[in-house]
A and B are shown apart, each in its own frame.
Chain A
């Protein structure tokens, strides 16, 4: 580890923290329907959209209606995307003459993008046309992010309101999230990325002759616009297969830094929106504090592991950090930081190959996702996932102050606990269940490129990434098969909707409750004590579930490696 590396990490945290308040304040105005400095421009567009689609912006929804709208929205989004992928060969904007996407891959990819996962079983430049990328994927990059934000805002309203039957209007929330938050940031962001050297063109792939005289096809396309939203919306689906490690997706150290900031910025600011809307900003800072502790711990471990390198290579005298699979323009610190950020948030973009990380360096990205991506997390999804853990933590320990559990004046009762447990249960079921299946079935065993614990980690990582809606790939796993495409898609769907629906149910139930005024006897939820409790509950309930799988994967690999035992390639 170097001083320079830590400076980068500290600078990163400082920039994200500095953006929390201003963006939080702005988004609060957006979602409470107040005027913002963009209203003169965007207001008429917004009202026009409502008029065209026949929506009354003042008409709020009961949580069931809200959920219905969310599901309808996703079903339609899926149908459109699936159709585009299957028909891309006959549709325009296909200069590279890409063939139609196979049914299982189209199913997997469509699911992947509507669930904000952006798992890539496809290779962007070798599979998809420009139209598929722009109209299909970029479009869902915006909307899946916007729905995540909408659901989080609905849950915040549940806490902020009292004795009411509605939690807001999904149509208004999703419109405002897209129009006022995502688009205004993406436009200058895209221009910045173009300045940094990312292509933005509809021209066909370029052919070049190298110095040796070989012919090379250089893939191009409308990259910058998609990269902007893929980072900001924690989508992570790269335009190119190599994702953010590709020089056309992430050309410079500066673009890398800004991309990392953009992954966290909305998720971090949403904690501030939460604090403001419930009337006590400290509540938001406490949540962000718990996220921050887990994040920094993860960064420290990964950076330490990567900087120390592989013990096997060290024994051959190859000392120094582990640079395998990393880009020299980023180096170890920025690669380790990126890996932790992209898995803490549900982004899934990668600027280095996680498969090539040391065992412990790769453990943290895996654990980040297994916790449910609640460390900042996906836009919206991170906050509501964290609030599920808050409900569980309050319920477990809240009784210890001698009152039945309450959070922000809302009693946490059987219904909330039931829904929170449902949201927590579906992740280990998908992650561990499918891994268990894949590690015994021949179709599953055909996937990993390595034997031993590392191969096991490749499978575990894939299902973890899918169910957590992350989308980053560990690499090494051949996932574009019928078995993996379909099981991963199921994991993504369950991981998205069986969390979202209980969250909306909780929002509805909380909104209907009376608010208990705070007193000296109320469980304090804005201090260090609560932050510590929350971190403990997350690690014990969220993390310990995966102890056996981690022991058999990265931990075994690390310890066996330290003892000089290696595993032959195969699988």
Chain B
């Protein structure tokens, strides 16, 4: 999928959208949208009446003709909004579809790697295929044998290859992606037509779009309001007759169409499609619109510590020597011991030594040094130099080694390192320092040189920059954050406090996670989480918003209702924001649409009844030029406002994280009060244009 940042109204999108908006006039597709369907019915009826008048020579044909023209424009503008939203998705779907060119597959037929060539679409669930370097993976599946690097740019847009291997949490492969090196055996898990890419295409095109619960309820409200205005308008002819006059049908139609909530009716589905589209642009696939709505409603976010709240690895942040040893000396020894240590912790020690004490990297070969790697048994690593030996490792392991207990792996040089072992005073000091560090959520690493304890390197889980502010933001939005970690509760509490999460779940097992979600839900809360492993699947399925990582297992991807193609757990926060933005846009335009009615009444009612009671001219507060221009201006405004709001519907209203009160005040002011005032200005402006052009 190309990551084009196309503007909202690029020419390539507009032409097909215009065509689509005419095609969508088909009543069979219009009926999905009750408000606009009603508009279409009156447009058709008035067109027929107009044709009759044209044949028989009625009066005021120019005026009626213009009103009818604008009725059709209203419909086309509404369709245009939807077609444009769909078109943006289609552009993405087309690039996806290119991956679905004729594919052949190597289906394994027996033991060994004997295979037959079969067309990709003929594969069935359970078939096992061989995919070698350069081959496209024919369908979604699970790696059951081998390891390979795979280019998933087709779905993620990310060109760096990823590793896929059997077993573990990275076994899922997606049809349409390409194996770059090695060969893997894949068991097919999706039949042709129901693969991940197929679903993506359907989703972004809006083909499989179903109305969400909130959209259904909103449609009921809009249909109800339409009925209210049917009553209001349908009773007018008898009232007028009582007053000794009559109102032309076309004027009644104009009043009716301007009063019913056409603005939100026209933009409702475009808002929904655009919301899904925003997620897709964010590289997140929502399996249903319902999931996006639920994201806006989330009350509790479960976030994994590693990778979401903290950077993946612990880093050295401080050297803490025992009394009598200088920081410089400790740093020097620690740096020497870590020079050849390729672990992230080791590298971070070298970096810290350089940054704080200016100790530069030294050439290991020149020092005649040998690196002693970490083993699970020794729980230490270090370096042996000529006549000197340095070790760093878990505090207990280093002290134990110093106290002279026999260690099988210890060589002659190692014996040198622990020569004066009974340095118990230093051991006590070390333990005190280590305890302080552990309490603060860090990991202490003891360093010893030639049998002397020098001090401790403070390894720390580094909380991601800016994450604390994000959590504060979430708290203002009323969302509770819970950190999930395998650490013990002391460490977890320290990191939780530093990151500013509201709560934490320490030493968490998948069962604990599931239980926590159930407990929150029992309190009426909506829970969002992300996960990748098979053991996350039950929790992902239970959560109201479950975001599966694209790198995750098939089970995890099936269980969640969203997939993050970038496999970035931090995105959960953005997903919530997108969900909220979708709901806010819907609410803002509904409010705006309904608030518009006041001005429309003041435009049309005096114009309509002027013949009956001339003094009603007083109600013409906008001083519109003539009754006909007032009515025409109202219907033109009603149509143009749809076009004017398409960018807002597609981009969404500006969303600033904050409390509900502040949000409501701001939005009520803009879309409520604005909705009352804007049409007064707009209708007046159109009236000036209409009378200047002598249209009415």
Q: Point out residues on A near B: beta carbons under 8 Å.
A: 162, 392, 395-405, 409, 412-414, 416-418, 421-422, 424-425, 428-429, 432-433, 435-437, 439-440, 445, 452-453, 456, 514-517, 519-524, 527, 529, 532-533, 536-537, 540-541, 544-549, 551-552, 555-556, 559-560, 562-563, 565
Contacts and interface: CB of A to CB of B under 8 A. Distances in A.
A179 to B, nearest CB: 36
B293 A404 contact: yes
A402 B618 CA distance: 41
A401 B597 contact: no
A399 B478 contact: no
A559 B613 contact: yes
Given A541-B594, A551-B619, A552-B613, A456 B242 contact: yes
A532 B673 CA distance: 11
A562 B617 CA distance: 13
B587 A556 contact: no
Nearest to A398: B587
Contact of A396 (B259, B591, B606): B591
B612 A402 contact: no
Interface stretch (B26-34, B160-168, B215-223, B493-501): B215-223
A433 B220 contact: no
A565 B594 contact: no
9 closest A-B pairs (Cβ-Cβ)?
A399-B587, A521-B478, A402-B580, A421-B224, A519-B478, A559-B615, A520-B478, A439-B242, A400-B587
Given A399-B587, A401-B667, 14 more contacts: A397-B590, A397-B591, A402-B584, A418-B224, A425-B228, A436-B238, A453-B243, A540-B597, A548-B232, A548-B235, A548-B605, A548-B608, A556-B243, A556-B609
Residue of B583, B594, B601, B660 most packed against chain A (CB within 10 A): B660
B291 to A, nearest CB: 13
B655 A402 contact: yes
B609 A551 contact: yes
B235 A400 contact: no
A537 B480 CA distance: 32
Given A425-B228, A560-B615, A552 B524 contact: no
26 contacts: A162-B524, A396-B590, A399-B583, A400-B663, A401-B663, A402-B580, A409-B524, A421-B227, A422-B224, A425-B231, A433-B235, A452-B243, A453-B243, A521-B478, A521-B479, A521-B660, A533-B672, A541-B594, A544-B259, A548-B239, A548-B605, A548-B608, A552-B609, A552-B613, A556-B615, A559-B616
Given A417-B221, A541-B594, A556-B609, A565 B239 contact: no
Contact of B232 (A416, A432, A552): A432
B238 A440 contact: yes
Contacts of B217: 395, 412-414, 416-418
Contacts of B37: none
B588 interface: yes
Nearest to A439: B242
Interface string B113-140: 0000000000000000000000000000
A127 B659 CA distance: 63
From A402, A412, A418, A541, residue with most partner B Cβ within 10 Å: A402
Contacts of A546: 232
A453 B232 CA distance: 18
Contacts of A520: 475-478, 659-660
A103 to B, nearest CB: 28
B274 to A, nearest CB: 15
A439 B296 contact: no
A533 B595 CA distance: 11
A396 B235 contact: no
Most chain A beta carbons < 10 A, residue from B232, B584, B615, B663: B615
Nearest to B669: A529
Nearest to B586: A399
A452 B244 CA distance: 9
A402 B296 contact: yes
Given A440-B242, A453-B613, A520-B659, A559 B668 contact: no
Nearest to B583: A399
Interface string B649-687: 000000100011101110110011000000000000000
B665 A529 contact: yes
**Interface size class of chain B, counting residues whose CB lies under 8 Å from the partner chain:** 35 or more
Contacts of B586: 399
A429 B581 CA distance: 37
B234 interface: yes
Interface of B: 213-214, 216-218, 220-221, 223-225, 227-229, 231-243, 259, 293, 296-297, 299, 475-480, 523-526, 579-581, 583-584, 586-588, 590-591, 594-595, 597-598, 601, 605-606, 608-609, 612-613, 615-616, 618-619, 655, 659-661, 663-665, 667-668, 671-672
Contact of B612 (A399, A516, A552, A563): A552
A529 B668 contact: yes
B235 A435 contact: yes
A473 to B, nearest CB: 20
B660 A417 contact: no
Contacts of B613: 453, 552, 556, 559-560
Given A414-B220, A437-B238, A516-B525, A540 B595 contact: yes
Contacts of B221: 392, 395-396, 417, 421
B597 A436 contact: no
B404 to A, nearest CB: 59
Contacts of B671: 400
A515 B665 CA distance: 25
A398 B668 CA distance: 10
A359 to B, nearest CB: 11
Contact of B228 (A396, A414, A428, A456): A428
B503 to A, nearest CB: 14
Contacts of A563: 615
A522 B665 CA distance: 13
A211 to B, nearest CB: 46
A516 B524 contact: yes
B213 A413 contact: yes
Given A521-B659, A548-B605, A397 B587 contact: yes
A402 B581 contact: yes
B299 A552 contact: no
Given A440-B238, A549-B239, A529 B661 contact: yes
Nearest to A546: B232
A91 B269 CA distance: 66
Contacts of A400: 584, 587-588, 591, 663-664, 667-668, 671
Contacts of B665: 529
A522 B478 contact: yes
A132 B597 CA distance: 48
A418 B228 contact: no
Contact of A432 (B231, B259, B479, B594): B231
A402 to B, nearest CB: 3
B270 to A, nearest CB: 16
A527 B661 contact: yes
Nearest to B300: A519
Given A399-B584, A523-B664, A524-B661, A439 B591 contact: no
Given A403-B580, A517-B524, A559-B613, A523 B231 contact: no
B525 A517 contact: yes
A439 B584 contact: no
Contacts of A445: 242
B609 A545 contact: no
A314 to B, nearest CB: 17
B498 to A, nearest CB: 22
Contacts of B523: 517
Nearest to B664: A401
A59 to B, nearest CB: 28
A562 B615 contact: yes
Nearest to B243: A552
A498 to B, nearest CB: 13
Given A402-B580, A556-B616, A545 B231 contact: yes
A543 to B, nearest CB: 10
B297 A436 contact: no
